[in-house]
C-alpha cells in the first residue's frame, strides 16, 4: 500500500500517477489522506480535487481518507509518502501509525527554526534507515497528466529496489542518490531563490539579471548543502538546478507567483491571500538564514528575500544591494 499524507496539488498528483501500475505489475492500493473529513468527502464524491488540482479525474481505485479517520497501521513493505507543508509534518506524523513502513518525504522546505523535513520526521520517531527524500522538477498538473518527468530519490546507503519499483512509472523516471541532506537542502532552498528570480524578472530587469541571480542562487544551495553535511553536487542535479529553473520560470509556482506579486507592490500578507495556499519559501527563507548563521556561512540572496518578506524592503532595493556587494571569488 502507498499512503499519501496530504491531498494538496502535489499529493493528489502523486496519487493519480501511482494509481496506474507498470506493465505486468498489479496496481498498488493507494490511500490519499486529506486534512479534514469535509475535504476528503468532497474529493471522494467528485473523484477530483477541485480546489487544488481541478480537471484531474481520480481513479475509483484511490481510497480517499482524512486525518479525522481512524487509519489502519502500516507494515513493512508499505510506503508512507509525506506531501504536506513542512510546518505541518510534526503534528501529522504524531497522528499516523508509521509502523514498519518506509517513509518518503515529498515535502520541500525547512521549518522556521531551520530543520530539514527529514530531521522533523526522525524527531517524530521515523527511523533514518527507512527514510527517503523524493525531489525534482515536477509540476503537479503535468505529473497527474502522465507527462514525462524525472526525480531523484535519496537515502542513506544503497538504493532500495523495492521502494524504487513502487514509485517509478514509465513516464516518471527516478534517479538515486546517497546524499539525502544535499538533495533536501537543494529542494528546500529553490523555493526561496524562485521568489528572488521571479521578482527580478517581474521588475523588467531582463534575463541577464535573472540568469545571474539563478546561478548565484545555485552557489548558495551548494554552500548550504556542504555546511549541513551534504554534497555540493546535489545543487547541480534535479533537486537543485532542475527544480529551480522550473519553479523560477513558472508563474504557476506559488513561490514564483509570490515574487511576482511582491515586485508589483503587494504586501506579503496580501500576496499570500491572493495565492490562497501555503508558500513554502516563506518559512524556508527564515529557517535557512537562521541555519546559515549557526553554520557561519553567507547566503546573501536568501538574506535579501528575508528582508523583503519580514522587513518590507522592496525587491528593487534588494537588487541594488546585491549588485553593490564587495567583489568576491565566484566559488568560496
Which whole-number Å values give the CA distances from 323 to 65, 92, 208, 221, in the listed order? 50, 42, 13, 19
Query: 291-318: per-residue pLDDT in tens?
Result: 999 999 999 999 999 999 999 888 887 7
Q: Which CATH number is 181-323 given?
A: 1.10.1040.10
pLDDT for the residue numbered 134: 98
Among 36, 84, 43, 89, which Cα is nearest to 63's? 43
How many Cβ atoms sit within 10 Å of the Cβ of residue 168?
Answer: 15
Task: Specify whether 190 is catalytic.
Answer: yes
pLDDT for the residue numbered 270: 96
Of residues 108, 190, 231, 286, which has the active-site annotation? 190
How many Cβ atoms sit within 10 Å of the Cβ of residue 76?
Answer: 10
Burial 274-294 (b: 16+ CB within 10 A, else e): eeeebbbbbbbbbbbbbbbee
pLDDT for the residue numbered 257: 96
pLDDT for the residue numbered 21: 77
What is the residue extent of each domain of the chain?
2-178, 181-323
C-alpha cell at 89: 509534518
Low-confidence residues in the chain, pLDDT < 70: 158-159, 332
C-alpha cell at 229: 553535511
- Cα–Cα–Cα angle for 135, 57, 82, rounded to 5 degrees: 30
Measured N-to-C along each axis, helices 281-295 and 207-227 cross at an angle, to the nearest 10 degrees, of: 50
Q: What CATH fold (topology level) applies to the domain 2-178?
A: Rossmann fold (3.40.50)
pTM recorded for the entire structure: 0.94
pLDDT for the residue numbered 111: 96
Query: Residues 280, 108: contact at Cβ < 8 Å?
Result: yes
Amino acid at each position: 500500500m502507498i499512503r499519501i499524507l496530504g491531498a494538496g496539488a502535489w499529493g493528489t498528483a502523486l496519487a493519480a500517477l501511482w494509481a496506474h501500475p507498470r506493465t505486468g505489475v498489479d496496481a498498488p492500493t493507494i490511500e490519499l489522506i486529506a486534512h479534514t473529513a469535509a475535504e476528503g468527502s468532497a474529493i471522494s464524491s467528485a473523484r477530483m480535487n477541485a480546489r487544488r488540482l481541478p480537471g484531474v479525474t481520480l481513479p475509483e481505485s484511490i481510497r480517499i481518507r482524512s486525518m479525522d479517520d481512524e487509519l489502519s497501521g502500516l507494515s513493512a513493505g508499505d510506503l508512507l509518502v509525506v506531501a504536506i507543508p513542512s510546518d505541518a509534518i510534526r503534528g501529522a506524523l504524531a497522528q499516523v501509525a508509521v509502523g514498519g513502513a518506509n517513509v518518503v518525504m515529498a515535502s520541500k522546505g525547512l521549518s522556521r527554526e531551520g530543520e530539514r523535513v527529514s530531521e522533523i520526521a526522525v524527531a517524530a520517531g521515523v527511523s533514518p534507515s527507512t527514510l527517503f527524500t523524493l525531489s525534482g522538477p515536477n509540476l503537479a498538473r503535468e505529473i497527474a497528466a502522465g507527462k514525462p518527468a524525472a526525480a531523484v530519490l535519496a537515502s542513506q546507503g544503497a538504493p532500495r529496489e523495492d521502494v524504487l519499483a513502487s514509485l517509478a512509472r514509465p513516464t516518471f523516471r527516478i534517479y538515486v542518490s546517497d546524499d539525502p541532506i544535499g538533495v533536501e537542502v537543494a529542494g528546500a532552498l529553490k523555493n526561496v531563490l524562485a521568489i528572488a528570480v521571479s521578482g527580478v524578472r517581474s521588475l523588467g530587469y531582463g534575463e541577464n539579471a535573472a540568469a545571474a541571480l539563478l546561478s548565484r542562487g545555485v552557489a548558495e544551495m551548494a554552500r548550504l548543502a556542504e555546511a549541513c553535511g551534504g554534497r555540493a553536487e546535489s545543487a547541480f542535479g534535479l533537486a537543485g538546478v532542475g527544480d529551480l529553473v522550473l519553479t523560477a520560470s513558472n508563474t504557476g509556482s506559488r513561490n514564483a507567483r509570490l515574487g511576482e506579486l511582491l515586485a508589483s507592490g503587494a504586501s506579503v500578507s496580501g500576496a499570500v491571500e491572493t495565492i490562497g495556499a501555503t508558500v513554502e519559501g516563506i518559512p524556508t527563507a527564515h529557517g535557512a538564514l537562521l541555519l546559515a548563521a549557526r553554520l557561519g556561512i553567507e547566503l546573501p540572496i536568501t538574506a535579501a528575500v528575508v528582508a523583503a518578506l519580514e522587513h518590507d524592503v522592496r525587491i528593487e532595493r534588494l537588487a541594488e544591494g546585491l549588485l553593490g556587494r564587495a567583489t568576491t571569488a565566484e566559488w568560496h
